[in-house]
Amino acid sequence: MLVRGERGVLTKLAWPALLLASCAKAVDPSALPLFLSETGLYADVAGKRIAAGVVAYEPQYPLWSDGATKRRWIRLPEGGAVDAHDPDDWRFPVGTRLWKEFSLGRRVETRYMEKLADGSWRRLVFVWDADESDARLAPEAGLPAVAKSADGAPYDVPSRADCALCHSHGDGVLGFSALQLSDDRDPLAPHASASNPATLTELTRLGLLRDLPADCLEQPPRIDAATPRERAVLGYLHTNCGSCHRADGLLAPLGLVLEARPGEDSSEYESGLRSNDGRHLRPGAPDESLLWARMSTRTPSAQMPPLATHRVDSAALELVGAWIREDLVPTDTRTDFRP
């Protein structure tokens, strides 16, 4: 707990500065890879053969990306391992590379992160050519409407500043964590793959995790919830909202925390759903709950998440709506909303 508190302070002070630095820092374009094929993901980009040492993984609570199909990979440097001693704060070795591919009927973009020698992350996006022969480096400001999602909504490639908005706490990696890769997978998680080739057990076997607490393998991490539906809701909010709505983030003044954090034994994740404003959630009334209302619109001035989506996540809206309507108990005094 102490470590988390200390990090919270550092995060609060450091991340706006990092964000501003990322906005202002001039990057020498000649130092950047111009094609995805230069980043080490593929042994053969034409045949889409993944390179040796690159490991595929599937988080159990994926981010909603307007219905895009996603694939993810990680490669650690030779002999490197993730420092996993704190289940809430994995630290990645210099040289770590991650990729996330987005498809809408065909490959559209692949996002790429690489940890540099100074400990910072380089985050780039590559947009696939129409024939999918390779993907080209996108401009720093991103690209609007490079494709259309299922109902014709535009699909945007994010700017590098937008990347930094979400990848802002801890070591800046999302979706590759003790909870997301737990062997105890949530069957009700919206849009999740049924299986994950890189569970904690498998990553440990491969030697890619260092100092993972033993109880994470004996009792795989899961969100401590009163009902299966609540477990899925809290997991969804953790991923889709919790990277910004954190107790130690810039949005802390809003008084709404939607993260999930490990409990004392680090295998049970406690609900981070806390609010000090009755407008956020009205038990029994989703349409009077600001959280649900924000999820239900894609008007830019009102929508949540505020970026990287133009389509409402209907499945999640139904799940969260049912939870507010049927599971939450009306009371004036509650600040954490549990059935």
Kindly list the residues in this chain that would bind other proteins in the complex (CB under 8 A).
12-13, 16, 19-20, 23, 161, 165, 168, 244, 249-251, 253-255, 297, 299-304, 306
Residue 70 or 311 with smaller CB distance to other proteins:
311
The pair phi, psi for residue 192, each rounded to 5°, is: -85, 150
Residue 262 or 305 with smaller CB distance to other proteins:
305
**Least Å distance between CB 17 and other proteins?**
8
**What is the number of other CB atoms lying within 10 angstroms of the CB of residue 107?**
20
Residue 4 or 298 with smaller CB distance to other proteins:
298
Among candidates 267, 155, 161, 279, which has minimal Cα distance to 217?
Answer: 267
Strand segments, DSSP code E, in 107-190 are 107-115, 121-128, 135-137, 143-148, 154-157
Residue 13 or 52 with smaller CB distance to other proteins:
13
Q: Which residues pair with 44 in a beta bridge?
A: 49
Residue 139 or 306 with smaller CB distance to other proteins:
306
Question: How many helices, marked H, and strands, marked E, lie in the chain?
Answer: 7, 15
Which tokens sit at 61?
Answer: 């609570």
**Least Å distance between CB 335 and other proteins?**
16
**Least Å distance between CB 18 and other proteins?**
11
**Least Å distance between CB 75 and other proteins?**
30
Going from the C-alpha of 188 to that of each of 62, 194, 207, 227, 292, the distances in angstroms are: 12, 10, 30, 11, 19
Among candidates 18, 161, 39, which has minimal Cα distance to 101?
Answer: 39
Residue 144 or 207 with smaller CB distance to other proteins:
144
**Least Å distance between CB 8 and other proteins?**
13
Strands 268-275 and 222-223: parallel
Residues 6+ positions from 301 with CB-CB distance below 8 Å: none
Residue carrying the six token digits 């549990």: 338
> Is-contact 287 293, C-beta < 8 A?
yes
Residue 23 or 43 with smaller CB distance to other proteins:
23
**Least Å distance between CB 251 and other proteins?**
5
> Is-contact 338 226, C-beta < 8 A?
yes
Residue 133 or 297 with smaller CB distance to other proteins:
297
Q: Which residues pair with 102 in a beta bridge?
A: 70, 109
**Least Å distance between CB 302 and other proteins?**
7
Report the C-alpha gap between 329 and 339 in whole angstroms: 6
**Least Å distance between CB 118 and other proteins?**
22
Residue carrying the six token digits 């899925």: 232
Report the C-alpha gap between 5 and 14 in whole angstroms: 14
Residue 157 or 290 with smaller CB distance to other proteins:
290
**Least Å distance between CB 301 and other proteins?**
4
Report the C-alpha gap between 97 and 94 in whole angstroms: 9
Peptide bond before residue 305 is cis, with ω within 30 degrees of 0: yes
